[in-house]
Structure 1
Amino acid sequence: DNAVDESTNRILKAELVHRETFGTTRELRAKLSDYVHRYNNFRIHSTLGYMSPVEFREAGLSLPESSK
């Protein structure tokens, strides 16, 4: 099942690619790295109780089986 991959690609396109122009592969990698850092450390997720993935993990929480 590639639903997770498709969802991730949709988010990247909407939040990063459609708003940016990349002059080089190095620039793309740097902006992608910044985006992933922001996504994991600061962007809250409703599925995680409005916490960032890092906060959720550090709190020792896990998703119920029905949410995975």
Structure 2
Amino acid sequence: MIDFQDISYLKNGNERQKSAYQTLIKYQIFEKLSGFNPLLAGTIPIDIDIPESDLDIICYWQNVTDFIVL
């Protein structure tokens, strides 16, 4: 079973997943959001995406101001 908490599974996925992984790594998205327990969601991670699909990241915050400042 895929551990969706760790985006490294995307490295071995389809071309869209590989591209998503490279983008997330290049811009250090998960590192920047690390204090908010980021989780990649949506259609790309589960390989049911369509051309218009984008990357959805779910975050958990306790203080909205901290999240907005980021």
Task: Please report the TM-score for the alignment, with normalisation by the length of structure 1.
Answer: 0.29
Larger strand proportion of the pair: 2
Higher relative contact order (CA 8 A, sep 6+): 2
Task: Please report the TM-score for the alignment, with normalisation by the length of structure 2.
Answer: 0.28
Larger helix proportion of the pair: 1
